[in-house]
Amino acid sequence: MTHHTSLPSPPGRTRGIVPLVLAILALAGAVFVVRRPLMLSAPACMTGRWHGCFDTFNGDVLLTLAALPVAALAVWFPGTS
């Protein structure tokens, strides 16, 4: 009697979920790494003191990352022509 049977391949649904989960984990890891330097300029931006937002590297990166969701929506849902 042989007990060396191969395992069945994962269903197609699992193959689609794995890359999504890996992408979410990578994004969460990236946010965790850059959150502290970016939060140095966030209090100034949130109180309306734009001096700290536009003239530092952290402020520029913070504003760029804040604009990414809007840009992604503009690309994802283009206007009808």
pLDDT of residue 79: 62
3-state SS assignment for residue 41: coil
Two structure tokens written together for 23: 């992408």
Q: Return the domain boundaries, the chain.
A: 27-76
Q: pLDDT of 4-57, one tens digit each? A: 676 666 666 667 778 888 888 888 888 788 777 777 766 777 777 777 677 777
> Could you tell me the maximum CA-CA distance found in the chain, to the nearest angstrom?
77
Which helix (H) or strand (E) segment holds residue 35: the answer is helix 12-39
Phi first, then psi, for residue 46 (nearest 5°) are: -70, -25
Two structure tokens written together for 69: 């969701």
pLDDT of residue 77: 76
Distance of CA 74 to the CA centre of its chain: 16
Which helix (H) or strand (E) segment holds residue 56: the answer is none
